[in-house]
């Protein structure tokens, strides 16, 4: 009880790479290339959906883990 968890539900027949897109979301408006995945029906992190039917929900319930960082909650 109270432990963090993640669940991924995907359609194996639909898993694929999307097209390359360019987004400007870095500091000073710098551009980067991204490739979105297809075929993920749902991704749930800590009880919060972050992907729903191949679409990002905008939720960010997890936290970034860096090498050497403590994993204590």
Structural contact between residues 39 and 54, judged by C-beta atoms closer than 8 angstroms:
yes
pTM for the whole thing? 0.70
What are the CA-CA distances from residue 41 to residues 14, 32, 34, 68 (Å)?
10, 26, 20, 33
State whether residue 30 is helix, strand or coil.
Answer: coil
From first to last of its 73 residues, the chain has per-residue pLDDT tens of 677 788 999 999 999 999 999 999 999 989 999 999 999 999 999 899 999 999 999 999 977 778 887 766 5
């Amino acid at each position: 009880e109270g432990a963090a968890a993640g669940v991924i539900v995907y359609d194996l027949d639909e898993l694929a790479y999307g097209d390359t897109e360019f987004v400007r979301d870095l500091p000073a408006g710098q551009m980067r290339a991204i490739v979105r995945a297809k075929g993920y029906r749902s991704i749930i992190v800590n009880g919060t959906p972050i992907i729903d039917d191949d679409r990002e929900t905008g939720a960010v319930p997890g936290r970034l883990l860096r090498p050497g960082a403590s994993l204590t909650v």
